[in-house]
Structure 1
Amino acid sequence: MKLRSFQMRILLWTWALLLVVLAVVFFYTTSIVGSELVRETERRSLNELETLKWLMENHRPFGSEEEFAGWVDAIGLRLGTRVTFIVGGRVVADSDVPYAELGGVEDHSTRPEVLAAMHSERGTDMRYSGTVHTDMLYVAQQVEAAAGMPAGVLRLAVPISKVNARLAMLRENFSWIFFVTLICAGVVSALMSRNMSRDITAFSELARAIGEGDYAKRLRALPGGEFKPLAQSVNAMAQSIERNVRVIEDQKGQLQAVFDGMREGVMTIDTEGRIESYNGALDEMFNLPATTVGRTPIEVTRRLEIQDLADRLLADREVSEGGVQIDLLDSRTVEVSGVPFFDYKGVRKVILVFYDITEMKRSEKGLKDFVANASHQLRTPLTSIKGYSETLLDNPPATPEGGRQFLEIILKNADHMDKVISSMLALARSEQVGEALALAPVSGRESMDRAVADVTPWAGERNITLRSRTPESEMLVMAEPDGLLHVFHNLLNNAVKYSPEGGVITVSAEDDGESIVFCVEDQGPGISREHSIKVFERFYRVDENTIDGSGSSGLGLAICRRIVRNFDGEIWHDGYGEDIRGARFCFRLNKPA
């Protein structure tokens, strides 16, 4: 149902109240005035009747009834009133009836006013007159014989139409007053209601603004004192809501920051199995499209296992958690854990958390390989030491030279074991997590020259030439001095170890703007493409012989890779034995900002 406006309701109520009040006043006033007019006419008629009685008593005697009738006609004409003289019920004279016709007038002895006058000297009555055909007010008074006329009743008759005319005039005037008052009241009430409506509209607009979220607004201007409690309640409610909204927004911001800052991917799924939200980590894992929200998990991840997990958690209310492990196309491994929950409406939904466990799997595999390789690396020299020791004990050589040869083999294997263990410790130190290196500008030229100087005696023993091809600058790089020197030592030692006698080893450096690339190149047998990919793995050896003259542990390049990575750099093998003679190892380090 359509509600009337406040302004229209005030106007209608004002008019209705005025109509009721003015109607009551109108009818009450016209009734009182009408009665008063009748009484006034009655009093005036009685006064006139007294005057006629006096005139009649002081008039000379009339010679006949006809003369008396003429006098009555003259009096009636002058007064504008019907005058009648009745004797014993017979009409002797009547100002409205010619004398010649009086004989036909009916007997008036039964008229109420005549009967009253005969019994109490005066009488009045109001009724319709059949003689003159109109409503009349009759006033009668008993008179004694005078002026030659017998005793009788003198009567005046005044038409009620005169009273009605005056009353009608009064009603007309009052009607105009009523109409003008109604119009004025309507205009005044319209103006007042419009002002009040404007204030109420402003009040309502502020209340609506608060309801729509503008909680900083307050109701100040009030249409009236009656609205003060409402305004206070609305203002208190707005303040409370504003405070709660701020708390909720803060919590939402914190949760969103946690949600977006998580390394784990997160996906929420509604009761229909469609994605409601996800974070940036999940987007990085699966490279999700912009239209992810509202679609099913299988549509955006292309993994049936994720969809099955979500469907199972949504369908089976007995299941409180679930998980699945999947391998992605880019060789990453992701573990997905799902937990159902209920929103504020009691609707069951699911949240999935995606953990990238690639490094953990790789570490597990690396640990297994490390243990296996370490066992293999140590088992062989231990077996050799044990075997030669038992031989020395059980069947000692006949000559001292034979015993010395056995002891040299035992010492060689012990040295190899010591080198393997030392390399393992060095690798462990280079892979320590949580200890940030204090990188500083280090002279690459100084570290390289020192390493070259350290290996020069050994290279000279094998008639190997060391050449340097570097810029004239200091070649400052962000590193740690001991670590950088270790990398140069390892690469140069390998180059000397695998170079033929009389060969050439070239050490070079190149400034490419933001970093410096160092390279060590030899003329040895080189490394095939197959071995080049795995050469930086722990315990990986191109030569399958575990113990050789070089005493290699198979951990040198793995340590170099870890050190360079700790310096935010990269290391690689450049060149293959099948195409290029020798091996070429390069690593890149950043220059100071």
Structure 2
Amino acid sequence: MKARLSFQGWILGGCLVVVVSTLIFVAVVMERSLSSHMLEVVRSSMQREILTVREVVRDRWRPGEGIAAGDKLADELGRIVGARVTLITPQGKVVGDSQMAEDKVPEMMNHSDRPEIIQAMKEGEGSSVRYSSTLGLDLMYTALRLTGPEGKVLFVRLALPLSQVQQALSRTRDLVLWAVFLGVLLSIGVAYLVARSLSRPVQLLTRTAAGIAAGDLSKRFIRYPRHEIGELGQAFDQMADNLQSTINDITESRDRLEAILRGMVEGVLVIDNDGQVLLANRALMKMLELKAVPPGRLPSEIIRNADLLEALDEARAGEDYVWREIQTLGSTPRFLEAHVVRINGGAAGEPGLVCVLHDITERKRLEKTRRDLVANVSHELRTPLTAVRGAAETLLDGALDSPQYARHFAELILRQSHRMERLVQDLMELARLESGESPPRLREIDAAELADSVLEGVTDLAQAQGVELGRRLPRDPLVFAADGRQVEQAVLNLLDNAIKYTGQGGRVTLAMEEDDGQAVISVSDTGPGIAAEYLPRLFERFFRVDNNRSRELGGTGLGLAIVKHIAQVHHGKVEVTSTPGEGSTFRLILPLSQAEDA
């Protein structure tokens, strides 16, 4: 993994590179400039002195005097000017040198190849800086050409050691190095402070941004330096405020939408432009019995209803609106209305879909119940109407003339009329209970008084059927809140059924008791009992275990349905247990106390 240089490191390194480069450049340029300047000063001074030396040599030099006179003259001039003086012939032969012994002068090398002599031969004056192998020093040489007596040419050369210049340059170089060192130290300090003042806000801004990216929208920069990073921090905090406000608005909108979708009884399915599930509310999952609807799945992966998938495919293929009635086949079969609508496509142009499912199971059930009711009512009315019409036609055909037959058919018409009247009354009572238009009028009912009233009402019927009546009441008074008329009707219906189906010599017992805050009214008989497969349907309209016997006994098939609805409007329930050959027990269970608007 590559090492990562921090922002502070970049600033510090950059400042150091710039400062050190600048100082080194200045030091080099200064040293070179100073060296050039000092050499130029020395050269100018030597040029002035060599002019004086040349005039002296011109006056005192005699070409024929030899090396001894020339070396003596050179020694004198060298002492006067404080520099090495050398006298050289045009052939390069040294005839005098202030720093060489007289006997050594003839042994000196030929100087005709020296740069300053060559330049002086051409221009009359020459100079150079070079190392002297004779003295072992760096020297600056200046030479002049002069013409002596008899037209003889002689070159006068001054040589000055540069050791002083080099010492001065060395001291200057040391000072420059120390200046560079101090400059670097100061630059490091200043650069560190500058880098820190810049990097710390950047680091704080980075941590703030990382916190916001991690989900903590309360993070803010807060501290604003007085430079561009401060302005950046203010802009960042403003952006974070706007972002948080936007996210809050989006979250509130999402929560409202989720609350609306959760509260909807309609199932909602949203499919995006790629044909994948984007949203499904709880109602849809319940209707289709789906455990989970992960976003991003295709509808065909989670829905197992071919009709619904076909409706979605039709809408996606181009239909703006598709309506379909479907039926589910799960553990709880349902009838659903599917309404599928296309929504605008995205960048790819593909449409999204919104599917709304309405549960019409109850409506279907009511429609079936209505059809069954009409069929049952028609069937129940057909028999008495046929009997009445037949009796009337028989009377019109001559039976009126026979008092015996006339009375028989008149009694038949009366019985069938009573039967139709009871049927109509039961239907009207059942309709009132189902509609809720007549809520129960609650009052306190004494169990003993209720038992006396209902048993008195069925005494004649029990005697006629040869059935013994009995009752069992709690030791303590039992009082509960209910609609007296409706409860009395329910108990009478139970007793009436029990007496009619028990038969000669049987026994019917009415019992009342309190159990866990409820009033339990039970009617038990010793009749033939009811097979287990018929028990779930006993409280349906017009359901009879034995149709022929029920009609013979004058039953309408609505009594137990009325009992069930009376129990429901009182927030209670009705139960039945039966053993074939031993009898049956019906229990009407009601709360002891209820709200007045129940």
TM-score range relative to shorter protein: 0.7 to 0.9
1:321-380 deviation line (CA, Å, top 9, x unaligned): 464633536463343637376786756666665555443333222211110111122223
Conserved in 2, the CA contact under 8 Å of 1:269 and 1:277?
Answer: yes
Superposition pairs of residues 24-35 of structure 1, within 5 angstroms: 24-35=25-36
Which residue does 2:257 correspond to in 1?
Answer: 255
Distance in 2 between residues matched to 1:199 and 1:129, nearest whole Å = 60
Distance in 2 between residues matched to 1:345 and 1:475, nearest whole Å = 75
What is the deviation of 1:240? 2.4
Count of residue correspondences: 577
Conserved in 1, the CA contact under 8 Å of 2:50 and 2:158?
Answer: yes
Residues 1:169 and 1:457: Cα distance change in structure 2 (over 3 Å): same
Which residue does 1:242 correspond to in 2?
Answer: 244
Which residue does 2:142 correspond to in 1?
Answer: 138
Distance in 1 between residues matched to 2:119 and 2:330, nearest whole Å = 128
Q: Which of these residues, 198, 221, 242, is aligned with residue 219 of structure 1?
A: 221
Q: CA RMSD in A?
A: 4.8
Conserved in 1, the CA contact under 8 Å of 2:467 and 2:499?
Answer: yes
Specify the SS of the correspondent of 1:574.
strand
Q: Which of these residues, 162, 165, 168, is aligned with residue 163 of structure 1?
A: 165
Which residue does 1:589 correspond to in 2?
Answer: 590
Residues 1:4 and 1:292: Cα distance change in structure 2 (over 3 Å): closer
What is the deviation of 1:454? 3.5
Matched to 2:471, the amino acid is S
Which residue does 1:120 correspond to in 2?
Answer: none
Residues 1:464 and 1:73: Cα distance change in structure 2 (over 3 Å): same
The yes-or-no answer on 1:538 pairing with 2:541 is yes
Conserved in 2, the CA contact under 8 Å of 1:439 and 1:567?
Answer: no
Q: Which of these residues, 408, 411, 415, is aligned with residue 412 of structure 1?
A: 415
What is the deviation of 1:507? 0.5
1:459-485 deviation line (CA, Å, top 9, x unaligned): 466665432112233445564333222
Distance in 2 between residues matched to 1:106 and 1:543, nearest whole Å = 157
Distance in 1 between residues matched to 2:329 and 2:57, nearest whole Å = 141
TM-score, normalising length from structure 1?
0.78
Distance in 2 between residues matched to 1:27 and 1:299, nearest whole Å = 79
Matched to 1:414, the amino acid is S
Matched to 1:560, the amino acid is V
Residues 1:102 and 1:562: Cα distance change in structure 2 (over 3 Å): same
Which residue does 1:553 correspond to in 2?
Answer: 556
Residues 1:309 and 1:435: Cα distance change in structure 2 (over 3 Å): farther
Residues 1:518 and 1:296: Cα distance change in structure 2 (over 3 Å): farther
The yes-or-no answer on 1:7 pairing with 2:17 is no
1:514-558 deviation line (CA, Å, top 9, x unaligned): 434321123455545565444322123455359967543221111
What is the deviation of 1:424? 0.7
Matched to 2:523, the amino acid is V
Specify the SS of the correspondent of 1:167.
helix
Distance in 2 between residues matched to 1:168 and 1:430, nearest whole Å = 122
Residues 1:447 and 1:86: Cα distance change in structure 2 (over 3 Å): same
Gap regions ≥5 residues in structure 2: none
Residues 1:306 and 1:209: Cα distance change in structure 2 (over 3 Å): farther
Specify the SS of the correspondent of 1:575.
strand
Q: Which of these residues, 490, 506, 516, is aligned with residue 493 of structure 2?
A: 490
What is the deviation of 1:421? 1.1
What is the deviation of 1:431? 0.7
Matched to 1:81, the amino acid is A
Specify the SS of the correspondent of 1:552.
coil
Which residue does 2:18 correspond to in 1?
Answer: 17
1:363-421 deviation line (CA, Å, top 9, x unaligned): 22221111011112222323333333344445352255544443333233222222211
Distance in 2 between residues matched to 1:441 and 1:183, nearest whole Å = 103
Distance in 1 between residues matched to 2:37 and 2:328, nearest whole Å = 113
Q: Which of these residues, 563, 568, 578, is aligned with residue 565 of structure 1?
A: 568
The yes-or-no answer on 1:422 pairing with 2:399 is no
Distance in 2 between residues matched to 1:463 and 1:362, nearest whole Å = 42
Distance in 1 between residues matched to 2:534 and 2:9, nearest whole Å = 96
Residues 1:335 and 1:92: Cα distance change in structure 2 (over 3 Å): same
Specify the SS of the correspondent of 1:376.
helix
Distance in 2 between residues matched to 1:82 and 1:318, nearest whole Å = 116
Distance in 1 between residues matched to 2:487 and 2:473, nearest whole Å = 17
Q: Which of these residues, 506, 512, 515, is aligned with residue 509 of structure 1?
A: 512
Specify the SS of the correspondent of 1:397.
helix
Matched to 1:167, the amino acid is L
Conserved in 1, the CA contact under 8 Å of 2:336 and 2:361?
Answer: no
Conserved in 2, the CA contact under 8 Å of 1:82 and 1:158?
Answer: yes
Matched to 1:585, the amino acid is F
